[in-house]
Chains A and B, each alone.
Chain A
Amino acid sequence: MRWGNLTKFLGIVLAIIVVFGYYISPLAMSIKQGLDLQGGTHVVLEAIDTPEAKVDDDAVQRVIQIIERRINELGLTEPIVQRQGERRIIVELPGVKDPEKAIELIGKTALLEFQNESGVTVLTGKDLKDARSQIDQGKQNLVAIEFTDEGAKKFADLTAQNIGKRIAILLDKQVLTNPSVQEAIPGGKAVITGSRTLEEAQRLAILLRSGALPVKVEVMEIRTVGPTLGQDSKDKSIKAFTIGVLAILVFMLLFYRLSGVVANIALLVYVMLLLGVLKGLEATLTLPGIAGIILSMGVAVDANVLIFERFKEEFHSGKTLRAAMDAGFHRAFSTILDANVSVMITAAVLFLLGSGPIKGFAVTLGLGVVISMFTAITVSRSLLRLLIHANVVKNSKFFGA
């Protein structure tokens, strides 16, 4: 009997259980959560051709920049603007309070035009340097704009030529205000009135500051999850995870005894490693992603089941415990490899061809297969070696054989 090995074994087992119990929850919670868990809005936009403007790569790039500028004004934590394929843009707005208004702000072309009385456009949004919302002394909501040097010149000319006449300020071909010009305005500053509320003025200012979209965009898909549902999904996922992992632990313990303890320790290491890698990769955890984690636990112990079944066969054919265990690991390896490659292939297909949250599922499933091969083989082999070398347990029944 070698107590050193046994102490080492027990020490490691205890350490892993303690670390798991202590860190698993903070580790899981520190991974970035998807919109379906924390609440928020996911929007897919598509740039579309119009007679005035055709979509090209440059236009989509500029649309993304402008949308980013607009979203930054919403004051959300970690919004995402991402290109998908040629013409699509994905926008993620975590925790957004009023999705409809946010989408309106993001998707508006916001083409500003100043027209003279006969409807000729003299200035556009490109001539603007800045736009700010204000309330004037008469409690009127307005947007104060400042022109670029060139814009200031154009505006001075426009006002000088139209004294006593009306000019029009239009946004996306709709008249915002229609003021009559009292005198020439040379300073490069003007105000746009006509906003009903201060909020409306603020939004107009944001649109004008961020500039007009070079092409029209259309909403293809919107998914909004409220914060309550997100929290509910999170709670339920934690419950499903806990019950799933407990059921597997108990099963392995009942059917494989000491080997089961080892497989279970390997499973705990597996879950921690998987979460650690997800965190390291800065992956986003979605509801399907959690489903992937829970499922992959079932698959993770498969490698151990294959090894232990092989061990039993080898033991019954007359080998010693130690030799049977080595043969079990050795012979089961190629089976585990081929079987896991099958799951990897489907996970890879899902990742490459799937979209959105399904990608999250594919990532956890695929990573799970790779990591579980390591834990089920390396971790459980080292632990079993320690245990068998300790020579404390000679009865094969303790190993489920």
Chain B
Amino acid sequence: MKLNIIGRRYWWFLLSGLILIPGIISMVLQGFNLGIDFTGGTIVDLKFSREVTVAEVRESLKDFRLENSTIQLAGTSKADASQYVFMRTHFLSNDESKALFAGMTDKLGAFEVQRVEKVGAVVGSELTRQALLNLTVACLLLGAYISYRFEYKIAISAILAILHDVLLVLGVFSIFRLELDSSFIAAILTVIGYSMNEAVVIFDRIRENLRSHRKSESYEELANRSIGQTITRSIYTLLTVLFACASLYFFGGETTKNFSLAMLIGFVSGAYSAIFNASPIWVTWKEYDDRRKAGLRPKGAK
């Protein structure tokens, strides 16, 4: 396939910038909707034997001074009452939650506990550190491997493209106030792996074409040719991965929804950035090197 992607590279860089800016602004201004995995606290999913309202539930929490907790109804088409109730409070001790459940049973009738998660604040702050550590170590290892198999300029171009994907996912989650939990870290790391995988396939072809490449062919033409040779594969693989991810998002369990959404966004971004950012960055870098060398040579010749 004949493509001219590199020729319009500055447009792609601009496009990427425009896509990322709203997310970055949102991250700075409103930050993230962090789940209890990060902040510590308690979440409870209850299924009552009758339909209850938010006001009723809030009233029953007053005895425990928890009336300011987040209370949501789920699994209902009616707006005001449901059997399914979700609550988020601060970290409750064992005695506190025991008393709370007993009190709620008295006031609201019997219920079944579907899920209770309590995370201490210490564990929460550890997770943030762990997330950053994960991200850094993964990028460093990938950079080292790609530098070893290819060259460091390819490694850095690919990692810049990966950062684009990570920023985009973070940005979307920030803008739409989607909750981050511990599985989000796994999603981001998977996006990193996939995005690198995409970039590697293109750079692998560039490396192969470099071996047989004529001096008359510029880096731009070489990269365009390589992208053209691999783009069908990029699209097909993106599609199969999206099929898997989308079925997880639409049909999978409630708890893996945000997890698969992060990957859906990340995979699309990863396929895009491998083609439209990684190789163009590398070409720009190579051309800059050549220009610098060419600029130096006449001086040396004098």
Contacts and interface: CB of A to CB of B under 8 A. Distances in A.
B47 interface: yes
Contacts of A225: 114-115
A323 B57 CA distance: 71
A302 B237 contact: yes
B256 interface: yes
Interface string A201-228: 0000000000000000011111111101
Contacts of A172: none
Contacts of A233: 253-255
B240 A288 contact: no
A137 interface: no
Contacts of A244: 243-244, 247-248
Contacts of A343: 193-194, 196-197
B186 A220 contact: no
A151 to B, nearest CB: 31
B27 interface: no
B115 A302 contact: no
Contacts of A340: 197
Interface residues of B, number: 68
B193 A346 contact: yes
Contact of A248 (B146, B243, B248, B252): B243
A232 B253 contact: yes
Interface string A312-354: 0100000000000000000000110011111111111110011
B188 to A, nearest CB: 9
A236 B252 contact: yes
Given A237-B252, A335-B200, A338-B149, A358 B240 contact: no
Nearest to A297: B244
Interface string B219-244: 00000000001101100110111111
B94 A342 contact: no
A349 B247 contact: no
B145 A341 contact: yes
A107 B94 CA distance: 10
B89 interface: no
A354 B187 CA distance: 12
A108 B228 CA distance: 66
Interface stretch (B16-24, B65-73, B130-138, B288-296): B130-138
B198 to A, nearest CB: 8
Given A229-B45, A298-B241, A343-B194, A349 B189 contact: yes
B4 to A, nearest CB: 20
Interface in A272-313: 287-288, 290-291, 294-295, 297-299, 301-302, 305-306, 309, 313
Interface string B234-271: 00110111111101101111111001100100000000
Interface in B165-208: 182-183, 185-186, 189-190, 192-194, 196-197, 200-201, 204-205
A228 B183 contact: no
Contacts of B242: 298
Contacts of B251: 236, 239-240, 243
Contacts of A294: 244-245, 247-248, 252
A220 B120 contact: yes
A346 B189 contact: yes
Contact of B118 (A104, A222, A349): A222
Nearest to B195: A342
A107 B93 CA distance: 12
A298 B244 contact: yes
A381 to B, nearest CB: 18
Contacts of B47: 228
Contacts of A287: 253, 255-256
A248 B248 CA distance: 13
B120 A219 contact: yes
Contacts of B183: 288, 357-358, 361
A309 B205 CA distance: 13
Interface string A234-259: 00110111011001100110010000
A361 B186 contact: yes
Given A220-B119, A299-B194, A354-B185, 20 more contacts: A100-B97, A222-B118, A224-B116, A236-B253, A248-B243, A248-B244, A299-B237, A305-B236, A306-B233, A309-B230, A341-B145, A342-B196, A344-B193, A345-B145, A345-B193, A346-B192, A347-B193, A350-B186, A358-B183, A362-B186
7 contacts: A226-B113, A247-B243, A248-B240, A287-B255, A295-B190, A309-B233, A343-B197
